[in-house]
Amino acid sequence: MAFRAGVRPLRATPGASDTFGLGCAPIGNLYRAVAEADAEATVAAALAHGIRFFDTAPHYGAGASELRLGRGLAGVDRDTVSIATKVGRRIVDAEGAAVPAGGVGTATVGDLSADGVLRSVDGSLRRLGTDRIDLLYLHDPADVDEPLRGALLLDRTAESGLLPAAAERGVGVIAAGVYNSGILADPEGSPYFDYREAAPELRDRAVALRGLCRSRGVQLSHAAARYPLQHAAVDAVVVGARTPEEVAAIAAAERAPIPDDLWAELEAV
């Protein structure tokens, strides 16, 4: 498994990760504010750990994530990194008015019109300080069935429909949200599922998964990050981070030894 040629950097970097990218929602102040210096340090740490694929969106911090990622990559050879961002959300200010192209606002609203998509791309290019985007997603369009946006382990609905269809058509899948908002990273310290507080039964299941992983000498977060790569349709994984320490944990997850039979044991839970 690896990022497909079309989304890899034009120029390879020795030692760069082939399967892990950095999710940049956290540096857009997801759940809590992140200082500008900390955001840039997080991007720098990702580069230092060999991460060359960065996933952001106008929706993350109403433009703040893209702007901070752009600042973090300033001076980096553009051909050595790949950037993914999204369309489908228009950035607005506190009064609901669209912000100028390249600006940062306070919220976003849905907009998948042709003009809205073009304006979104223009704004992203300006905030990122780049002349191209390597991968452009539709950001959670409302007319796509909710299960297609699910993650794996606790929400595995993609396994029965989306992933087989992608494999059949030769469409690569990059798995994001592998901790599903936090519960599979820290079931008690970050008990969020689908961007809201997790129900007690989901917390209990996550705690049980963590216990099983611990009994085999594996961290739950490492298993969660690697689990999607067990499916043939999944090419790579994107994991969010807001600090250099969290980036280091992502790098550790990619390298951590995980017994092959643990996956079957997790299935049973």
Q: Which of 60, 179, 192, 227 is catalytic?
A: 60
Which tokens in the block code for residue 108?
């976003």
Q: Which pTM does this prediction carry?
A: 0.81
Query: Catalytic site residue 60?
Result: yes
CATH architecture of structural domain 5-268: Alpha-Beta Barrel (3.20)
Q: Contact at 8 Å (CB) between 20 and 236?
A: yes
Query: Which residue ranges make up each domain of the chain?
Result: 5-268
User: Interhelix angle for 64-73 vs 36-48, to 10°?
Assistant: 50
Phi, psi at residue 157, to the nearest 5°?
-65, -25
Secondary structure percentages of the chain, helix, strand, coil, to 5: 45, 15, 40
Environment class of 126 (CB within 10 Å of its CB; exposed 0-12, middle 13-18, buried 19+)? middle
pLDDT of residue 262: 95
pLDDT of residue 142: 62
Stretches where the chain sits below pLDDT 70 are: 141-152, 154
Distance CA 180, CA 68 (A): 23
